[in-house]
C-alpha cells in the first residue's frame, strides 16, 4: 500500500468512526540506517535515511478528557484512558505504550491537552528494525501538536519519542530513529551528529538502488541484549576516563586496549571505528565512490558481527549471498539494532533482479526461512496532510 492509499484508508475509517470535524492527519516514515550502528547513544555519528514505509495518525478533538485510540493494524483494537488519571504503561499490549507515552510526557511537560480520538494505521513491517515504533511516536506527536496547537518542532518530537522508548517502553535507545522519521529529506541520507543533533544532508547516488531484505527471524530478547550493549559502552568509556566513546580517539583506544576487560575493548573498538566509517561513508556517497562504499559497508558488517556481536547466522548468510553477487559494484550490511531484522544494500539497478533470484533460491535452503525484499526510496520526514474528509 502506498502513502496515498494509507492516508485514504486511515482517514476514511477515522471519519466513519468519529465524523470528526477539523481532523488533523500526520504521516511519518520509517528509516533504514546506512552506517553508524549503536553509535547514537555514544554521542556519535549516524547516517540513516527515511524510507517510504509510513505510519498515518488521524486525530479529532472530543469534549472532556477522554482519549480513545483505534489501531487498524491490530484488528481495530481500542485503547481508552482519561487524561485526569495517571497514564500508566500497559503490561501486554506494547503498541499502546508508544501512544500512552506521548500523552504522558506531554502532560508531564505542562502542555495543555484535552479529549480526543485517534485512528492509526501503517505500512512499516513491524518488529523488523525499520522503526515502526519511532514513526508511530512521531506521527502521534505531530497530530497532537496540530490538534492542541503545541508547536512542537522536529527535535522536540524526536526527544519526546526517545523518552517514550527509554522511560515508558524500557528500551535504552538513542535518538537516531526518531530524528530520521521527523527530519527525513527526499533523495538524501542524514548525517547526524548525535551530540548536538546537527544534520548534514548527503545525497544518495541515483545510480544506486536501496534494497532492504527482511530476514524474518523472530527477534528474541532484543531489548535486554540492546540495553546490555549500551551499558557495556558506558563502562568502556568510564574505563578510559571519558564521558562517552565519542570522545575516545583511535590512538587513545589502542594505548588502553590491552588493559581493559576484553569484552569492553571489543565493544569500544566497534563504536570508535564505526564513527569513523560514518564520516568516510558520507564522503564516499558524495563522490559516488562505489568501491569505497562497498568496502566500508563490508567492514561495518564484520565489526557488528565480531566485535559488537549483534548479527545472527541468518543475517550473515543474507549478507554473504548479496555480497557474492554484487562484489564491489555495491555494498551490503546488517542494519538497525541487531539480533535479527534486516540487511541494507546499495546496488546498481541492473543487479536487483539477480540478487532477488539468489536470495530466493539460497536463503530458504540455507536457513529454512523466507526473506522479504523491499526496494525503497529515501523520503521526507513527518508531514501534516489532508485526508479525503478533511
Tell me which residue has cell 512542537. Answer: 152
Nearer to ligand GLA (CB atom), residue 40 or residue 146: 40
Tell me which residue has cell 515504533. Answer: 133
Question: Which residue in 9, 11, 14, 40 binds ligand GLA (CB under 6 A)?
Answer: 40
Give the separation between CA 228 and CA 172, rounded to whole angstroms.
Answer: 9
Give the separation between CA 102 and CA 67, rounded to whole angstroms.
Answer: 12
Looking at the chain, list the stretches that DSSP marks H as alpha helix, in order from N- to C-terminal side: 3-18, 94-108, 132-148, 154-163, 176-183, 222-239, 250-256, 262-286, 290-306, 313-326, 352-367
Question: Which residue in 7, 173, 307, 371 binds ligand GLA (CB under 6 A)?
Answer: 173
CB 360 within 8 A of CB 238: no
Query: Known catalytic residue: 228?
Result: no
Give the separation between CA 86 and CA 90, rounded to whole angstroms.
Answer: 12
Buried (b) or exposed (e) across 272-304, using 16+ Cβ within 10 A? bebbebbebbbebbeeebbebbbbbbbbbbebb
Angle formed at CA 53 by CA 214 and CA 81, multiple of 5 degrees: 105
Q: How far is the CB of 30 from ligand GLA (least distance, A)?
A: 11
| 174 near ligand GLA, rule: CB under 6 A | yes
| 37 near ligand GLA, rule: CB under 6 A | yes
Nearer to ligand GLA (CB atom), residue 144 or residue 271: 271
What is the total count of residues that contact ligand GLA (CB under 6 A)? 11
Give the separation between CA 134 and CA 141, rounded to whole angstroms.
Answer: 11
Nearer to ligand GLA (CB atom), residue 40 or residue 269: 40
Which segment (172-180, 245-253, 263-271, 368-376) binds ligand GLA by CB under 6 A? 172-180
Q: How far is the CB of 278 from ligand GLA (least distance, A)?
A: 11
Residue in 177, 228, 247, 299 annotated catalytic: 177
Q: How far is the CB of 67 from ligand GLA (least distance, A)?
A: 26
| 137 near ligand GLA, rule: CB under 6 A | no
Which segment (31-39, 87-95, 109-117, 350-358) binds ligand GLA by CB under 6 A? 31-39
Q: How far is the CB of 346 from ligand GLA (least distance, A)?
A: 17
| 342 near ligand GLA, rule: CB under 6 A | no
Which segment (142-150, 169-177, 204-212, 351-359) binds ligand GLA by CB under 6 A? 169-177
Question: Which residue in 9, 14, 18, 38 binds ligand GLA (CB under 6 A)?
Answer: 38
Nearer to ligand GLA (CB atom), residue 7 or residue 319: 319
Q: How far is the CB of 48 from ligand GLA (least distance, A)?
A: 8
Per-residue CA distances from 330 to 136, 197, 359 (Å): 32, 29, 16
From residue 175 to residue 204, the character string flagging contacts with ligand GLA as x (rule: CB under 6 A) and all else as - is -xx---------------------------
Q: How far is the CB of 31 from ligand GLA (least distance, A)?
A: 8
- Long-range contact pairs involving 350-354 (C-beta distance under 8 Å, separation at least 24): 351/325, 351/326, 352/209, 352/211, 354/325
CB 336 within 8 A of CB 365: no
How many of the other CB atoms lie within 10 Å of CB of 49?
25
| 27 near ligand GLA, rule: CB under 6 A | no
Give the separation between CA 109 and CA 255, rounded to whole angstroms.
Answer: 45
Provide the binding-site residues for ligand GLA, judged by CB under 6 A.
Answer: 33, 37-38, 40-41, 173-174, 176-177, 336-337
Catalytic residues: 177
Amino acid at each position: 500500500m502506498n502513502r496515498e492509499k494509507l492516508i485514504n484508508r486511515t482517514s476514511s475509517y477515522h471519519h466513519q468512526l468519529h465524523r470528526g470535524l477539523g481532523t488533523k492527519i500526520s504521516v511519518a516514515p520509517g528509516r533504514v540506517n546506512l552506517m553508524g550502528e549503536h553509535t547514537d547513544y555514544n554521542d556519535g555519528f549516524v547516517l540513516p535515511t527515511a524510507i517510504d514505509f509510513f505510519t498515518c495518525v488521524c486525530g479529532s478533538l472530543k469534549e472532556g478528557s477522554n482519549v480513545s485510540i483505534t489501531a487498524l493494524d491490530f484488528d481495530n483494537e481500542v485503547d481508552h484512558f482519561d487524561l485526569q488519571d495517571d497514564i500508566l504503561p500497559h503490561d501486554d499490549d506494547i503498541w499502546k505504550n508508544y501512544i500512552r507515552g506521548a500523552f504522558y510526557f506531554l502532560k508531564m511537560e505542562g502542555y495543555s491537552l484535552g479529549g480526543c480520538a485517534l485512528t492509526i494505521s501503517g505500512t512499516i513491517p513491524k518488529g523488523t528494525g525499520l522503526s515502526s515504533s519511532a514513526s508511530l511516536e512521531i506521527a502521534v506527536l505531530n497530530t497532537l501538536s496540530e490538534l492542541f496547537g503545541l508547536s512542537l518542532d522536529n527535535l522536540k518530537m524526536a526527544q519526546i519519542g526517545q523518552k517514550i522508548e527509554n522511560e515508558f517502553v524500557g528500551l535504552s535507545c538513542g535518538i537516531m530513529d526518531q530524528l530520521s522519521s521527523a527530519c527525513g529529506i527526499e533523495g538524501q541520507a542524514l548525517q547526524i551528529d548525535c551530540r548536538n543533533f546537527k544534520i548534514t544532508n548527503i545525497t544518495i547516488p541515483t545510480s544506486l538502488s536501496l534494497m532492504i531484505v527482511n530476514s524474518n527471524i523472530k527477534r528474541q530478547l532484543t531489548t535486554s541484549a540492546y540495553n546490555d550493549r549500551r551499558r557495556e559502552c558506558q563502562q568502556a568509556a568510564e574505563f578510559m576516563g571519558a564521558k562517552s566513546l565519542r570522545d575516545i580517539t583511535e590512538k587513545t583506544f589502542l594505548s588502553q586496549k590491552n588493559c581493559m576487560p576484553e569484552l569492553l575493548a571489543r565493544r569500544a573498538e566497534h563504536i570508535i571505528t564505526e564513527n569513523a566509517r560514518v564520516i568516510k561513508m558520507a564522503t564516499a556517497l558524495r563522490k559516488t565512490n562505489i568501491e569505497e562504499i562497498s568496502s566500508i559497508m563490508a567492514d561495518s558488517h564484520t565489526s557488528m558481527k565480531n566485535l559488537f556481536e549483534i548479527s545472527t547466522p541468518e543475517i550473515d548468510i543474507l549478507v554473504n549471498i548479496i555480497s557474492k553477487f554484487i562484489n564491489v559494484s555495491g555494498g551490503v550490511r546488517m542494519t538497525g539494532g541487531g539480533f535479527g531484522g534486516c540487511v541494507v544494500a546499495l546496488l546498481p539497478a541492473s543487479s536487483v533482479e539477480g540478487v532477488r533470484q539468489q536470495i530466493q533460491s539460497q536463503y530458504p535452503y540455507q536457513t529454512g526461512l523466507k526473506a522479504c525484499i523491499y526496494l525503497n526510496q529515501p523520503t521526507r520526514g513527518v508531514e501534516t496532510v489532508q485526508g479525503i474528509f478533511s
